C-alpha cells in the first residue's frame, strides 16, 4: 500500500497490527510499555537510554505511566488526539506538527516496541504486519465519528460482532468501556488514566466540554453507523 503524504497540521488515522494477526500485547506490562513509548518517543530528541529492567518491560511507575526523569521540554512530532490498543492491533489519531513527524514517530514506535517485545519473549523478526497504514481526515463530521469509532474498538473483546450491529446489553458495554484502560477514552470522560499522552483540547472544543463528549459518545455507541466513516476505517 502506498504511504500517505504527510502534511503538517493535517489529521491522520493510523493503524497497524501484528504480523499474521498475532497478538502484540500479551500482558499488562506490554500495554504499559507501548503507552510509555507513545509519550517518550513523541519528541524530536532521541529517546532516553533505558536500563535493562525497563527494556524487559518493568516500566517504572512515576505517576501515570512511567514518565521519564527531569528533561528538557519536549518538542512534539505529533499531537496524539486519541489512541486505542487492542490485543493484536492499535489505532492512533494524530496531527503532524513537525516535518516528517509522523514518519519519525512511527519509526521510533515500531523499532522500539519490537525490540522490547522480541527481547522479552526471546524471539526475532518482524512484529508488525509491514508499514503502518494511514488515512487523512478531511471533514469535521468524519473526525468526530472516527474518534468515537476508535474508542469503541474494545467492544470487540466482549461483542465480536458489534460492527455488524450486535451490541447486546448496552449497560454492560458502557461499563466495560469505562473499565478499559488501554485507550484514551477515560481521559476524554474525566477519568484520569494517561492524560499526558494525548492532546485533547482540540477535539473537546468541538463538543463544548467533557460532559458533552461523554453524553455524545455513549449516545452514538447505541446507534453507530459505520457507513458514515467507512472510507476512514483501516482494518
User: Residue 56: pLDDT band by 50, 70, 90 thresholds?
Assistant: very low
- Look at residue 218 in the predicted model and tell me its pLDDT: 78
* List of domains in the chain: 11-134 (3.30.70.1290), 139-232 (no CATH)
What are 125-153's pLDDT values in tens digits? 999 998 999 999 987 877 888 898 899 89
User: Residue 69: pLDDT band by 50, 70, 90 thresholds?
Assistant: low
Residue 228 has pLDDT above 90, yes or no: no
**How much is the mean pLDDT over the chain?**
84
User: Is the Cβ–Cβ distance between 206 and 144 less than 8 Å?
Assistant: yes
What are 70-105's pLDDT values in tens digits? 567 889 999 999 999 999 999 999 999 999 999 999
Instruction: Give the three cell numbers for residue 159.
Output: 461483542
- Look at residue 62 in the predicted model and tell me its pLDDT: 40
What are 8-43's pLDDT values in tens digits? 999 999 999 999 999 999 999 999 999 999 999 999
- Look at residue 2 in the predicted model and tell me its pLDDT: 53
How many angstroms separate the CA atoms of 227 and 69, rounded?
45
- Look at residue 59 in the predicted model and tell me its pLDDT: 39
Nearest to 37 by CA among 66, 7, 78, 75: 66
- Look at residue 61 in the predicted model and tell me its pLDDT: 40
- Look at residue 70 in the predicted model and tell me its pLDDT: 54
Q: Angle at the Cα of 66 (from 65 to 70), degrees rounded to 5?
A: 125
Residue 63 has pLDDT above 70, yes or no: no
Q: Are strands 133-137 and 89-96 parallel, antiparallel or unpaired?
A: unpaired
- Look at residue 111 in the predicted model and tell me its pLDDT: 95
Burial class (CB in 10 A: 0-12, 13-18, 19+), 51: exposed
User: Residue 169: pLDDT band by 50, 70, 90 thresholds?
Assistant: confident
Beginning with the edge strand found earlier in the chain, give each strand of the sheet holding 133-137 in spatial order: 78-86, 89-96, 11-17, 133-137
Residue 53 has pLDDT above 60, yes or no: no
- Look at residue 3 in the predicted model and tell me its pLDDT: 60
Residue 52 has pLDDT above 50, yes or no: no
Residue 50 has pLDDT above 60, yes or no: no
Mean pLDDT is lowest, of 25-34, 107-116, 196-205, for 196-205
How many angstroms separate the CA atoms of 101 and 43, rounded?
9
How many angstroms separate the CA atoms of 2 and 170, rounded?
39
Amino acid at each position: 500500500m502506498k504511504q500517505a503524504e504527510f502534511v503538517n497540521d493535517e489529521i491522520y488515522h493510523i493503524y497497524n497490527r501484528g504480523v499474521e494477526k498475532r497478538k502484540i500485547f500479551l500482558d499488562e506490562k506490554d500495554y504499559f510499555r507501548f503507552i510509555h513509548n507513545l509519550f517518550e518517543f513523541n519528541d524530536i530528541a532521541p529517546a532516553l537510554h533505558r536500563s535493562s529492567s525497563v527494556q524487559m518491560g518493568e516500566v517504572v511507575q512515576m505517576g501515570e505511566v512511567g514518565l521519564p526523569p527531569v528533561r528538557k521540554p519536549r518538542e512534539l512530532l505529533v499531537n496524539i488526539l486519541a489512541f486505542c490498543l487492542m490485543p493484536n492491533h492499535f489505532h492512533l489519531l494524530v496531527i503532524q506538527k513537525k516535518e516528517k513527524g509522523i514518519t519519525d514517530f512511527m519509526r521510533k514506535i515500531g523499532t522500539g516496541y519490537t525490540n522490547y517485545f522480541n527481547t522479552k519473549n526471546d524471539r526475532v523478526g518482524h512484529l508488525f504486519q509491514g508499514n503502518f497504514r494511514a488515512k487523512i481526515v478531511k471533514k469535521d463530521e468524519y473526525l468526530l465519528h472516527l474518534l468515537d469509532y476508535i474508542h469503541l474498538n474494545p467492544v470487540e473483546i466482549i461483542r465480536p460482532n458489534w460492527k455488524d450491529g450486535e451490541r447486546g446489553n448496552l449497560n454492560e458495554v458502557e461499563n466495560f468501556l469505562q473499565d478499559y484502560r488501554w485507550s484514551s477514552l477515560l481521559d476524554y470522560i474525566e477519568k484520569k488514566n494517561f492524560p499526558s499522552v494525548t492532546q485533547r483540547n482540540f477535539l473537546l472544543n468541538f463538543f463544548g466540554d467533557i460532559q458533552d463528549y461523554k453524553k455524545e459518545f455513549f449516545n452514538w455507541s447505541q446507534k453507530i453507523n459505520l457507513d458514515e466513516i467507512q472510507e476512514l476505517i483501516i482494518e
